[in-house]
């Protein structure tokens, strides 16, 4: 097998982490929507400022629930806006995300919770929440489950959907200070763990692949210049 390597175009300070990329975009005051989210038959744009405000509020909720830097927090959901919001909030709280396939069985979820040590989890809906609760019961551990969709119906104009909106709103009213939040956000550096991605477990127990903040941040900033010809002017700054 042939191997090739190339030097970095852009380097980052060792103390930085993935959250700094979001804050850098916020500081640029880029008017381009960060997300377009489908609600009912409509698409709603989400600005960087609104997304960052929601991330900070949700991170406060996590901290208020006892999440500390280095803790693991699971996410069992399909790919969606709320998934991105939850993971950024986990990183702002200084914690480590643990993605779980939305099709996983209670048996599979039990192993991931046990191996990762996650005692708080986001679930996409009540059905996934029940799977996590069954897994936690089998494990004999208390796992707090926060649900994106609470089953009470979703306001077509609401971002995020109803269940997660309550968690975001709760963060805005929490006693967690700006100083506490910033201390948690900046607690991780490039070489610190950002996420544990578990394998499918085809040949045995799923194994947690350790991804650092450097794996995300350095790839993102160094890939951006190469993507500009494909995505168009300014793409390297988005």
Render pLDDT for 114-153 as a digit per residue (tens, 0 to 9).
Answer: 999 999 999 999 999 999 999 999 999 999 999 998 655 4
Q: Which CATH number fits domain 32-152+159-223: 3.40.50.980, 3.20.20.70, 1.10.3720.10, 1.25.10.10?
A: 3.40.50.980
Q: Ramachandran region of residue 140, left (φ > 0), alpha (ψ -120 to 50) or beta?
A: left
Q: What is the largest CA-CA distance in the chain?
A: 56
CA dist list (Å): 116 to 12, 99, 162, 185, 207:
28, 11, 28, 21, 10
Tens digit of pLDDT at every position of the chain (238 positions): 888 887 888 899 999 999 999 999 999 998 889 999 887 788 989 999 999 999 999 999 999 999 999 999 999 999 999 999 999 999 999 999 999 999 999 999 999 999 999 999 999 999 999 999 999 999 999 999 999 986 554 444 444 455 788 899 999 899 999 999 999 999 999 999 999 999 887 777 889 999 999 999 999 998 888 787 776 666 555 4
Render pLDDT for 172-198 as a digit per residue (tens, 0 to 9).
Answer: 899 999 999 999 999 999 999 999 999
């Amino acid at each position: 097998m042939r191997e090739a390597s190339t030097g970095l175009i852009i380097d980052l300070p060792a103390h930085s982490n993935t959250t700094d990329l979001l804050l850098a975009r916020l500081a640029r005051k880029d008017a381009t929507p960060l997300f377009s989210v489908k609600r009912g038959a409509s698409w709603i744009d989400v600005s960087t400022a609104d997304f960052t405000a929601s991330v900070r509020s949700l991170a406060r909720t996590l901290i208020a629930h006892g999440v500390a830097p280095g803790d693991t927090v699971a996410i069992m959901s399909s790919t969606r806006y709320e998934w991105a919001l939850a993971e950024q909030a986990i990183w702002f709280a200084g914690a480590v995300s643990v993605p779980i396939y939305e099709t996983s069985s209670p048996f599979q979820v039990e192993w991931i919770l046990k191996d990762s040590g996650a005692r708080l989890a986001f679930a996409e809906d009540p059905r996934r929440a029940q799977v996590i609760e069954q897994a936690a019961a089998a494990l004999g551990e208390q796992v707090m489950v926060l649900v994106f969709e609470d089953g009470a119906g979703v306001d077509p104009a609401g971002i995020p959907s109803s269940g997660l909106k309550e968690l975001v709103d709760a963060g805005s009213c929490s006693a967690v200070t700006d100083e506490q939040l910033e201390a948690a956000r900046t607690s991780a550096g490039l070489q610190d763990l950002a996420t544990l991605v578990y394998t499918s477990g085809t040949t045995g127990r799923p194994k947690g692949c350790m991804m650092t903040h450097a794996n995300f941040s350095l790839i993102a900033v160094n890939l951006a210049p190469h993507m500009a010809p494909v995505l168009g002017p300014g793409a390297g700054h988005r």
